[in-house]
Amino acid sequence: EKRVFGNIGALKDLKDEKPGLILGVFGCMTQQKDVAQKLFRRFPFVNIVFGTNLLSKLPSFVEHAEAGERTLAVEEGNIVIEDELPSARTSTINAFVNINYGCDNYCTYCIVPYVRGRERSRNPASIVAEIERLVQEGYSEITLLGQNVNSYGNDLEGTDFADLLQRVSHVKGLDRIRFMTSHPKDLSDRVIAAMASLPNVCHHVHLPMQSGSNEILRRMNRKYTREQYLTIVKELREAMDDVEITTDIIVGFPGETEQDFAETLDLIEQVGFAAAFTFKYSPRKGTRAADYPDQVPEPVKRERLRVLNDLQERKSRENNEKYLGASGVVHVEDCDTRNEPVCYGKFSNFKMVYFPGGLELIGQYVRVRVKQVRKNSLSGEMEENNL
Ligand code: SF4
């Protein structure tokens, strides 16, 4: 939230330069009425502030802004997110497709269930139809999105996420299917089997671990143990020898002792994540953990985050080293032409790869052999006999 406030403040100069510019702030954060009000008061140059519940009203808010009126609108109560609104896509390489909205899990640190409402799955036929349209527009890679994609279909009859993967995988012209995010408690054997058997489903799972301590996982209300987490990792690797796993980790959750933190480090050591998004716990008003009495002091959190990041950096490098000399297919996302042109894109399992190439390769699938390992990526050269 602090960062959002800072970024909005930084837009003031732009607004002064272009007084006709319409600025709107909306989403989960502004679904919290007090935050929306604070933001509206603090930044008089922002035209529109509204919460997730009123997304479908955006066109009328813009009309009001054009007529010189400011809008602050937050509708509390049942969150309903319209799911068939037109999408604007900024990437021409990978299109994001929502498959479910909201979340029923109530992790004790997370505001999402309160601001995005109960879990709701889109109809599979409408998802497939959207993806077919995307392929016609030229996309060959899509990412299925949800707070917890693995529980897709829990609110529908006779379908689940594995079934959706099957249906989507049959769309002609679709080369890569990704998905985010997977809750470990819902990653079923059926999903693992679908990933392993469907040729266009990418071998990458973003599987937030959050903590390696069973006591902290219980207090977070995550509903799995470190042992169960390790079992899923083993099953994924047995099913797909090239699978990569990335994760999210929180340090300094209320009540986290040195021993709990050591268990987190131990789990990271054991799993060997390709990459991790790491966070210091920060209390969110309205969540259960914000009221826990045993908050961890800021300097302790900061130090644990430093230790954690050092360890993950070493593990990422170790993970990258196994690719030295290996060859794989990169879907080229872009090309940096400021100096000698360097293209970049990902292997199917999400490894980022850089290699010399030209703008004409953007959007292509090319085979690259890895020659060097960097901290967070690989670099190599295109192979002679390409695709
Ligand atoms: Fe849901 Fe993820 Fe938030 Fe937990 S952390 S409540 S699974 S969105």
Q: What is the pLDDT of residues 70-125, one digit of tens each?
A: 999 988 776 666 666 777 777 789 999 999 988 999 999 999 888 888 899 999 99
Does residue 387 have a pLDDT over 80?
no
Calpha distance 221→237 (Å, rounded): 26
pLDDT in tens, 5-57: 999 999 999 999 998 899 999 988 898 888 999 999 999 999 999 988 788 88
Per-residue pLDDT at 183 exceeds 90? yes
pLDDT of residue 76: 75
pLDDT of residue 196: 98
Mutation pick for ligand 1 pocket among 105, 187, 224 (CB with most ligand atoms within 8 Å):
105
Q: Which atom of ligand 1 is nearest to the CA of 183?
A: 7
Q: Which of 274, 364, 380, 288 is nearest to 317 (CA)?
A: 274
Whether pLDDT at 136 is above 90:
yes
pTM of the entire structure? Answer: 0.88
Residue 260 has a pLDDT of: 98
pLDDT for position 384: 77
More confident site: 344 or 387: 344
| pLDDT (0 to 100) of residue 117 | 83
Q: Residue 257 and residue 374: Cα distance in Å, rounded?
A: 34
Q: Which residue has the tokens 């896509």?
A: 89
Residue 145 Cα to ligand 1 midpoint, Å, equals 13
pLDDT of residue 81: 61
Which of the 8 DSSP states describes residue 210? B
Report which ligand 1 atom has the smallest distance to the Cα of 147: 8
Confidence of residue 221 (pLDDT cuts 50, 70, 90): very high
**Which atom of ligand 1 lies nearest, measured to the CA of 106?**
6
203 lines ligand 1 (CB under 6 A): no
- 23's CB contacts (< 8 A; 6+ apart) are 8, 11, 15, 45, 46, 47, 48
Q: How many angstroms separate the CA atoms of 65 and 70, rounded?
A: 6
110 lines ligand 1 (CB under 6 A): yes
| CB 52 less than 6 A from any atom of ligand 1 | no
Report the share of the chain in percent with pLDDT over 70: 97
Confidence class for position 150, pLDDT limits 50, 70, 90: very high
Please state the atom number of ligand 1 nearest to the C-alpha of residue 148: 7
Is the CB of 217 inside a 6 Å radius of any atom of ligand 1?
A: no
> Of residues 248 and 118, which shows the higher confidence score?
248
HSE, side-chain direction, 13 A CA sphere, residue 264: 30
116 Cβ below 6 A of ligand 1: no
The Cα 206–Cα 150 span in angstroms is 11
Q: How many CB atoms lie within 10 A of CB 126?
A: 12
Q: Mean of the per-residue pLDDT values for the chain?
A: 93
Residue nearest atom 7 of ligand 1, based on CA coordinates: 105
Q: How far is the CA of 369 from the centre of ligand 1 (A)?
A: 38
Query: In degrees, to the nearest 5, what angle opens at C-alpha 326 toward C-alphas 345 and 135?
Result: 35
